[in-house]
Structure 1
């Protein structure tokens, strides 16, 4: 394990942890950057006896409305006592002194994040199918949380949520433009023209998918991760996102490999039926939400592509991120036509 990965100063970090959480770290502190993250940076911290996870914003180009460590920490603290499985948050540091950026620390959860089909296929079709349905069940559990009961009544503004989301992601696209992508502006315009009426608001995750949860040896979800896009809003945005990831993995095999290709993983239609049955929500207009999910992820990938071009990314695979954007745009346009 590297002693000092990019984005951390272990000596200054150790001093801050000793001051704020005295006695927590009992041995020499070591850190490793988790691979696979494409936005906020996530590190495993160890002292030879204990493990923790640290999250901080990316290096380099950072959009003003993204990478809010305090917001992530707040939702974890609110949900940890609930039935929604999340890591236990331990410390939020909002000043930049220790590592050059705000960060938060949470307890390590020893689970598996299934990121590709080969890894998931080892479970076998029956277990894979059950895990896919459990992914939906956990999302329904999240959407059933009463925000006021967990201290998140002011975590977002549900009224006008979809309209504001479109404006926000349009601004983020403008802030990260470095090239022309065919169809991207047309997708944004068509989404605005067909804006649906939202159901009752709920706490939404914003990036809900199988590789953003940790799974235990009994195939149960131990923790939902990566809450940087969470807010109060339209719960169908999470469902549309899950459909997009599932369908893109199937339709663009080799462009966007994913766990949905594993034998037994439920098709998108089954995931949607499961959600509708358990939540009682109307999903007849889900095509719009799938198109919106495609637009959001296209913008996210463009932002990562921009940071990579400016030398502000850490890890492997960033040179290929820009190639994925047209696939998201095309699928978004197709979803809107179907809707």
Structure 2
């Protein structure tokens, strides 16, 4: 039986030709928890892979670029950044209805809930949260040009374009008035700071996009769909915004940072600063942008939920998350 968004006969015929040794008779399972690109575990009975494709239905043209996600992971293979091995990319939308790619299935756990970490104890939770921060600093230390990503984005004016881009994304998913979003957008646009040194920006960095093994080491950074070149401090701010929000909105947003032993916000910033030479003054603006970006992403998911186009559980409360998130963004700007 075909899972939503994946024609196994068509995929099997393509896979057998694209990946040496792969069979054409496939089984597949949608990985639960994905609220953006669809991620499947695919097997021919002998080998197992991960297949990624965009979500069904309403998709902003540049928001789910499989080619970019595949390219950045491929480029990072020889670096210290842990990424899955990439096998093949398909630009032919006729195969499964959208572009997709195939990558290694890496061992490790994407911790999401505080209860999962609490079961490990405070010492391991602290180690895992430290790994999260250190891995981000390692990514941001990579020279894009040295790994063939010098043309991966347009870093000049990156922050200003981010403000405009997420406004466009929000408008593309319009279902209701959000006056706090309008005000946050106005304030962000009026106070864009000078940018830190150019680096590779993951775009959605958080603990449940990081696989961690039993020794609390990072085995893979996942979900590179929004990766680009720009100001890496946006990654740190988005991660902290997820943490600020997670404990207040139930299961709609991961709450792993609430677990005993998890590094505090101040400890995270200090740990990152120790492993980076970036200037973190004026960081409140980045937190405001992160809140606005996350609100736009979640509003897009809410749009698809209302249209009956989401796959899997956990979407019914997404719309309620937007309001406290926007308020947090306005508060962050005052902290700047």
The answer on whether the counterparts of 2:68 and 2:225 sit within 8 Å (CA) in structure 1 is yes
Q: Please tell me the root mean square deviation across aligned C-alpha atoms, in Å.
A: 1.3
User: Does 2:181 correspond to 1:184?
Assistant: yes
Structure 2 residue aligned with 1:224, among 209, 212, 221? 221
**In the TM superposition, what are the counterparts of 1:1-339 in structure 2 within 5 Å?**
3-25=1-23, 28-250=25-247, 252=249, 256-339=253-336
What CA deviation, in whole Å up to 9, does each residue of 1:50-72 have, x standing for no partner?
Answer: 21000001100110121111010
After superposing on structure 2, the runs of 4+ consecutive aligned residues of structure 1 that deviate more than 6 Å are none
| Alpha-carbon distance in structure 2 between the residues aligned to 1:59 and 1:18 | 25
| Alpha-carbon distance in structure 1 between the residues aligned to 2:45 and 2:14 | 19
For residue 257 of structure 1, report the CA deviation from its aligned partner: 4.5
For residue 30 of structure 1, report the CA deviation from its aligned partner: 0.6
For residue 204 of structure 1, report the CA deviation from its aligned partner: 0.8
SS at match of 1:214: strand
What CA deviation, in whole Å up to 9, does each residue of 1:232-277 have, x standing for no partner?
Answer: 0001101111111122224556664410011100011100001111
Q: 1:5 to 1:201 in 2, by over 3 A?
A: same
The answer on whether the counterparts of 1:188 and 1:295 sit within 8 Å (CA) in structure 2 is yes
SS at match of 1:297: helix
| Alpha-carbon distance in structure 2 between the residues aligned to 1:83 and 1:74 | 17
Q: 1:312 to 1:253 in 2, by over 3 A?
A: closer
For residue 130 of structure 1, report the CA deviation from its aligned partner: 1.3
Structure 1 stretch displaced more, 173-182 or 212-221? 173-182
The answer on whether the counterparts of 1:135 and 1:210 sit within 8 Å (CA) in structure 2 is yes
For residue 48 of structure 1, report the CA deviation from its aligned partner: 2.4
Q: Which runs of 5 or more residues in structure 2 are unaligned?
A: none
The answer on whether the counterparts of 1:182 and 1:326 sit within 8 Å (CA) in structure 2 is no
Structure 1 stretch displaced more, 308-317 or 108-117? 308-317
| Alpha-carbon distance in structure 2 between the residues aligned to 1:18 and 1:254 | 39
For residue 335 of structure 1, report the CA deviation from its aligned partner: 0.5
The answer on whether the counterparts of 2:251 and 2:314 sit within 8 Å (CA) in structure 1 is no
Per the normalisation by structure 2, the TM-score is 0.97
Q: How many residues align?
A: 336
What CA deviation, in whole Å up to 9, does each residue of 1:298-318 have, x standing for no partner?
Answer: 000111111112222111111
The answer on whether the counterparts of 2:252 and 2:318 sit within 8 Å (CA) in structure 1 is no
For residue 28 of structure 1, report the CA deviation from its aligned partner: 3.6
| Alpha-carbon distance in structure 2 between the residues aligned to 1:36 and 1:172 | 22
Q: 1:282 to 1:8 in 2, by over 3 A?
A: same
Q: Which runs of 5 or more residues in structure 1 are unaligned?
A: none
What CA deviation, in whole Å up to 9, does each residue of 1:145-196 have, x standing for no partner?
Answer: 0111100000011110001111111111111111112401101111111111
